[in-house]
Chain A
Amino acid sequence: METPEPSRLSLLKEYLGNDAVQIKEMVQLFLETFPADLLELETACQNHDFTKLQKTSHRLKSSVQLFNIGVAREKIVLIESRAKSHEDCNGIFQLVQQFKSCMQDEVKNIRTELQRL
């Protein structure tokens, strides 16, 4: 039997004592700040700015983890690790695109779950 996908908001609920208002506010904050972080990731990649890449991916890692998005977390960990070892930017750029695509889907899931609160 397949393990059901964990709720995207379960960890937030635990952190915020199931307070729906606070959960909505935190999701809103994530949705507001995430596009800028994503853009920063892409720009750093284009500029071959490994330091920036490493810092931004490191920062995003914990946020992504808080939404239980396993696949996206794997990608961002990989981006951080490759940026740390200054691996080829094209490979990293592809990973960033995969991460972006994954997150776009997940943002939809998050919004759906949020409406059910």
Chain B
Amino acid sequence: MSLLKIFVVEDDLFYGELLKRHLSLNPDNEVFLFKDGKTCLENMHLNPDVISLDYGLPDISGFDVMKKVKRDYPELPVIIVSGQEDVKTALDLLKAGAYDYFIKDKDTKDRLWNVINKIRSNKKLRTELNELKEEVSKKYAFRNIIKGNSPAIKKVFGLMDKAVKSSITISITGETGTGKELVAKAIHYNSPRKKKPFIAINVSAIPHELIESELFGYEKGAFTGANARKIGKFEQASGGTLFLDEIGEMDANMQAKLLRVIQEKEITRIGGNQLIKVDTRLIVATNRDLARELNRGMFREDLYYRLLGLPIELPPLRNRGNDILLLAKYFTKEFCRENGVKTKEITEAAQNKLKKYTYPGNVRELRSVIELAVVMSEDNIIDESHINFSASNITTDFLLEEASLAEYEKKIIKYYLEKYDNNVVQTAKKLSIGKSTIYRMIKNAEI
């Protein structure tokens, strides 16, 4: 671990030198001694990790030195070591951001030693946290999370590039399984907000009566069961990004409250009366056509235009051409690696089958199909028989037959006749066609 750089600012040469030597007993400390505030401020380029600052300095007061330091380095811990025993001074310094305040007495040595050790632990944790954040950022590099070379997906990359460079609200649309949340995360982790939280919430997954408390939080005693204050998602994501998935499911009452927050950039916790400023970037997503919801009166017009921001439409997998095979090969490699087996090859026939399918579940569905294929194939080859689309996709299988309209009509009528025990009246009613049509088909042995 790197050395902890400590500035000791003390006008009493003897006392300062003693503190320096004492703190240097730990070889992980690198201690610098300055006799006044000016010299300390001139050496801030050395990037100290902590400053031990005497309150009564000869040139600038410890208070002013601390204020100047805090203005440029707000996170830097400043410990005041002072001969002043005035409680008000101590309180003022702590309020102004001092990390701790010690009176120079017999316990100063141990207090300083302990607090420096605490700062060292915090620095270690902060370093680890930053490393993890960097790893997450790399993980969410556009090309690492969204695979594809198709023109449709390249257009998405172009929009994402624009999205990361500003704080504009992003509205992502796309069918289920197209990766809306991944795109939102990628935008956040590639934006200047990446070191602050990314909070995701699925509006449709939360009962309407609870969504307000989830988003804005509540104060203790706001309602029965509110035993403690709860910080809402907007506050949690302040400085970062809040991803509201399935925004089209939000009810009218909540839409009005959301609009107000977007306009005023402030929230009030339920049961509270304090306005809390928030700096939260919004990314919303929906698989509904919000413009249509707008026309139906189900979505507020003012909110719609507020949320629209930079729209990113994720293309369905079936419109991404060769990306299907590119993704299939990528998933195959990933699953083989996870299972500790040699990478399997996808046969020509299997590739054709993959290309023909329409993927209503999009990339998510392809991923599942490949995962199953990797498990089912026993040698190093994934062939046609290993590619199985789920039963719920029977409709698309049906459409893949590419029959004529007349043929499809016959199939449908036959299906319903079987379903309703050859009851022509019921079948005709169900399909909104005339009984005579069905009788004629039966008579002509068409069905």
Contacts and interface: CB of A to CB of B under 8 A. Distances in A.
A26 B22 contact: no
A15 to B, nearest CB: 5
Interface in B350-376: none
Given A29-B17, A61-B104, A63-B15, A17 B56 contact: no
Interface in A1-54: 11-12, 14-17, 22, 26, 29-30, 33
A14 B109 CA distance: 9
Contacts of B109: 11, 14-15
Contact of B21 (A26, A55, A60, A66): A26
A30 B109 CA distance: 18
Contacts of A22: 21
A65 interface: yes
- Interface size for chain B: under 10, 10 to 19, 20 to 34, or 35 or more residues? 10 to 19
Contact of B13 (A12, A29, A65): A29
A28 to B, nearest CB: 10
A26 B56 contact: no
Given A11-B106, A15-B109, A30 B14 contact: yes
B106 A33 contact: no
A62 interface: yes
Residue among A60, A62, A63 with most chain B CB within 10 A: A62
B120 to A, nearest CB: 18
Nearest to A34: B14
Nearest to B84: A58
B25 interface: yes
A59 B12 contact: yes
B22 A62 contact: no
Nearest to B85: A77
Contacts of A63: 12, 14-15
Contact of A12 (B12, B18, B105): B18
A21 to B, nearest CB: 11
B83 interface: yes
Interface string B402-435: 0000000000000000000000000000000000
B12 A62 contact: yes
Given A30-B14, A62-B12, A66-B15, A55 B56 contact: yes
Contacts of B221: none
Nearest to B81: A62
Contacts of A16: 18, 21-22, 25
Given A14-B109, A61-B104, A26 B17 contact: yes
Contacts of A14: 109
B14 A15 contact: no
B21 A29 contact: no
B212 interface: no
B113 to A, nearest CB: 10
A25 B439 CA distance: 115
Interface in B82-114: 83, 104-106, 109
Nearest to B56: A58
B11 A26 contact: no
B58 interface: yes
A33 B14 contact: yes
B323 to A, nearest CB: 66
Interface string B18-41: 100110010000000000000000
A33 B18 CA distance: 14
Contacts of A17: 25
A14 B107 CA distance: 11
Contacts of B12: 59-60, 62-63
B58 A55 contact: yes
B313 to A, nearest CB: 68
B229 to A, nearest CB: 43
Given A58-B83, A61-B83, A15 B104 contact: no
Nearest to B12: A59
Contacts of A55: 56, 58
Given A14-B109, A55-B56, A62 B21 contact: no
B312 to A, nearest CB: 62
B305 to A, nearest CB: 64
A65 B21 contact: no
Which 3 pairs across A and B sit closest by C-beta, in order of nearness?
A: A62-B104, A15-B22, A59-B12
29 contacts: A11-B109, A12-B18, A14-B109, A15-B18, A15-B21, A15-B109, A16-B21, A16-B22, A16-B25, A17-B25, A26-B14, A26-B17, A26-B18, A26-B21, A29-B13, A29-B14, A29-B17, A30-B14, A33-B13, A33-B14, A58-B56, A59-B12, A59-B15, A59-B56, A61-B83, A62-B12, A65-B104, A66-B14, A66-B18
Given A16-B22, A29-B17, A61-B104, 13 more contacts: A12-B18, A14-B109, A15-B18, A15-B22, A15-B109, A16-B18, A16-B21, A30-B14, A55-B58, A59-B11, A59-B15, A59-B56, A65-B106
